[in-house]
Amino acid sequence: MSLTKQVVIDQITVTENGIILYREATRIMEDGNQLSQTYHRSSLTPAQDLTGVPTNVVAICNAAWTEAVIAAYQAAQAAAEAARNA
């Protein structure tokens, strides 16, 4: 009887405004059979620091976050902030 823990990124989503959503699954396995599974979800905004982010997620971020996507996201955030302060 051998218990192991597997941590995998099992879902990555890119939203229309460039936000990256990803889900990390932690699986407890016994002799190849899954005993339990838990999830941790994270989100990343365009141009966010990617230190400590899994490499497969970083690759998606680098592909999705073009200069145009980053500029559009920052402009939308500035407009939202201006509307809140008006």
Sign of CA dihedral 29, 32, 33, 34: positive
pTM of the predicted protein model: 0.87
Angle, vertex CA 10, rays to CA 7 and CA 11, nearest 5: 140
Residue ranges of alpha helices (H) inside the chain are 55-64, 67-85
The model's pLDDT over 12-61, given as tens digits with 9 standing for 90+, comes to 999 999 999 999 999 999 998 999 999 999 999 999 999 999 999 999 99
Place of tokens 């699954």: 25
Mean pLDDT of the region 61-72: 97
